[in-house]
Structure 1
Amino acid sequence: MRKILLILCICYTCFQLGACKVKFPNDALNQEQITNTQDEENSNNKKGNIEQSDFNIEQEIRTPYYSISIPEDWSYKELETGTLYFMIENEEVGGLYIQSYYSDNSDPLKRLLPNHSEIIESKKLDGFFTEAHKIKIIISPPAASKDIRTENWTYIFLIKDKTTVYEVFLNTDLIDENDILTIAKSFRL
């Protein structure tokens, strides 16, 4: 199970960073692994930005492992591994991974971040049911790709019993940071 999750994470990162010069198509995931898909229809905002006043997390996603709430006009894909991908108008804007947490490493959270990422902010968060950390990063494509686009992401790491980390990540170019925290705070085991 962990090997499959690791392989999916590596493939996802490779495609998202453009290393393969192929945009990750939504229907390229193994359809047998997708257990729940909701199609988004008629989004009011073409760009995907959500204004603070319009932000309501009314759609609760329940998996065998956890529950989390997202805006009702978003869609999501759930894999058998417990991984979620959040989408606005079929464009991926974030997700949630479940990973092992190795507290004996010198910087256990940094090793969970994508390749080619630079940490621009890191802090411990209060107000969560478990230990939580926020890390803001900038992801740059590999130099060999000759792509100069960068992406800004915020990762919220929810650490349970120092053995498992639930990694909520959202694109801060598209989602307001307060909304990211609202989504992360809706997470429940």
Structure 2
Amino acid sequence: MPIDSTRLKGVSYEKINGYISRVNCGSHRCACSSGSFETYDTKEEPTVVQTKPSEQPENSVEADVSGIEFKPMTIETSAYSISVPDDWKVEKTNEKTLSFKQKDVRIGGVDVLSYYPSEPISQLIPNHAEDTGLTKLEGFEMETYSTKLTLTSPAASEKETQEEQYHYYFVDPKNGKAYDMYFNTAHFHDEKIALQIAKTFKLK
């Protein structure tokens, strides 16, 4: 599947079979469908570093995810693998992006962002978003950050919208990519399960 990537005014886009997916956009994180899905019926504990919004990590504390377990279903893509609870459905929207569904409601997914090692880590925060402070997660196989975002529609939008999301960023500076796992808190708000899912992310 041909993918044409470009950057417009500092925002990353992907063009997939004629559809524009705003990979680093302001109003939301969305994995644009190419029209064909691979659907899966899907029936570990880190430490963290808290920061001020959009700044580099400074301190580290241990994250408590004890007592939380789920029966995993492992999803393989060309770039990474990840495990989610076995009662979820996972749609593979292209080779590297995923959509998570619970009871047929979309609750999150994984997108691929451009990453520039020479720029601050705050480049991962989209436009029109407020973050609670990037948190660096320790004990992962790769550089990993998390935050909670409040996403609002651009000023020019006809309808004002607001959405809260959890985001986990897996950074691959060698290949200039960051993998963004996100959850819409209106439909999924279990941070401990989200953290355990993040722990299963493995780059190939």
TM-score normalized by structure 1? 0.72
Residue in 1 that maps onto 2:33? 29
1:95-119 per-residue CA deviation (whole Å, 9 max, x = no partner) reads: 11223310112x3x43333332111
Looking at structure 2, the residues matched to 54 and 110 of structure 1 have their Cα atoms a distance apart, in angstroms, of 30
> Does the 8 Å contact 2:26/2:152 carry over to 1?
no
Give the aligned CA root-mean-square deviation in angstroms. Answer: 3.3
Equivalent residue, structure 2, for 1:177: 191
The one-letter code sitting in structure 1 at the alignment partner of 2:35 is Q
Residues 40 and 89, structure 1, Cα contact 8 Å, conserved in 2? no
Cα offset, 1:62, TM superposition: 1.0
Task: Indicate the residue corresponding to 1:78 in structure 2.
Answer: 92
Q: Which has the higher strand share?
A: 2
The equivalent of 2:136 in structure 1 is 124
Give per-residue Cα distances to partners, 1:76-102, cap 9 Å, x unaligned: 111233111111122221111223310
Higher helix share: 1
Task: Give the Cα separation in 2 of the matches to 1:110 and 1:31.
Answer: 32
* Residue number in structure 2 paired with 1:46: none
Q: Structure 1: give runs of 5+ residues left out of the alignment.
A: 18-23, 42-51
SS at match of 2:134: strand
Q: Which residue is equivalent to 1:133?
A: 145
Question: Whole-Å Cα distance in 2 between the matches of residues 55 and 92 of structure 1?
Answer: 22
Q: Aligned in 2, Cα 1:129/1:98: closer, same or farther, shift over 3 Å?
A: same
Tell me if structure 2 keeps the 8 A contact 1:96–1:167: yes
Match of 1:49 in 2: none
Q: Number of aligned residue pairs: give it.
A: 167
Please list every run of at least 4 consecutive aligned residues from structure 1 whose deviation after the TM superposition is greater than 6 angstroms: none
| TM-score for both structures, normalised by structure 2 | 0.67
User: SS of the counterpart of 1:3?
Assistant: strand
State the 1:157 CA deviation.
1.1
Task: Return the offset for 1:144.
Answer: 4.5
Provide the secondary structure at the position in 2 that maps to 1:29.
coil
Partner of 1:153: 165
Is the alpha carbon distance of 1:113 and 1:170 closer, same or farther for their aligned partners in structure 2, counting shifts above 3 Å?
A: same
Whether contact under 8 Å (1:40, 1:88) holds in the other structure is: no
